[in-house]
Each structure stands twice: as structure tokens, then as C-alpha cells.
Amino acid sequence: MANNQEHIEQVKLALEHLHNCGAIHCATVPVHEVFRGQTVWKGDVEEFTLEGHAKAKKAYGWSEGQGNKERFFAVLELPPVKSALDAVRASIVADAKGRK
């Protein structure tokens, strides 16, 4: 993986591109999601303040994988998403629905 600052910049660019707005990094939040006693996701989520988005003031972003297999996630802080953990949960649910 790239160093942390490079990684944050990649996540920021992906978020700005996906949601067509500016983003300012404000925090790195460690998230550990457990379901039925099993870890389903563990990692750092980048928190951003948004500029120029019509509805959201904040967003959360992260990536999984490496190289050509790296996948970026960008979740807006809109109800029911109120935190980095909520963003990860929303992404897991969306992925599960997409696989059905």
C-alpha cells in the first residue's frame, strides 16, 4: 500500500470524482465491524468535510485491495449514515444486496 498521505490523497480524489465536489481530510477513524462474533471489516476510514455538495457536509472514504484490484468506497454522511462505522455498514449492506 502507498504511504498514508498518498493513500488519503487517492481516497480524496476518488470521493471528489464520485460525488462531484471538493473534500478536505479531517480525520482517520479506525473501524472494526463484528457480526455474529466474526470480524466482517477492519480498517481505517478517512473522514472528509465536503465543499460544494448539495446535500452532504461530510463523507467517508476508504479502499480495499491493492494495485489494479484496489476498490475505492465513498459514502456520504446522509441519514442513516452518521459515522465512519455507519458508512462501512451501509457499504456492506449495499454490497450484499448487489450480489443477490
Name the band, by pLDDT with cuts 50, 70 and 90, for residue 70.
very high
Residues 67 and 24: their CA atoms lie apart, in Å, by 24
Whole-Å CA distances, 24 to 9, 69, 93, 94: 10, 26, 26, 25
Average pLDDT, the chain: 93
State the pTM of this model: 0.91
Tell which residue, 48, 9, 11, 45, has the closest CA to residue 26: 48
Residues 94 and 22: their CA atoms lie apart, in Å, by 24
Residues 86 and 12: their CA atoms lie apart, in Å, by 19
Q: In this predicted model, what pLDDT tens digit does every residue of 10-58 receive, in sequence order?
A: 999 999 999 999 999 999 999 999 989 999 999 999 999 999 999 999 9
Domain boundaries, the chain: 4-99
Of all residues in the chain, what percent carry a pLDDT higher than 70? 96
Question: What number of helices (H) and strands (E) belong to the chain?
Answer: 2, 4
* pLDDT of 2 over the 60 cut: no
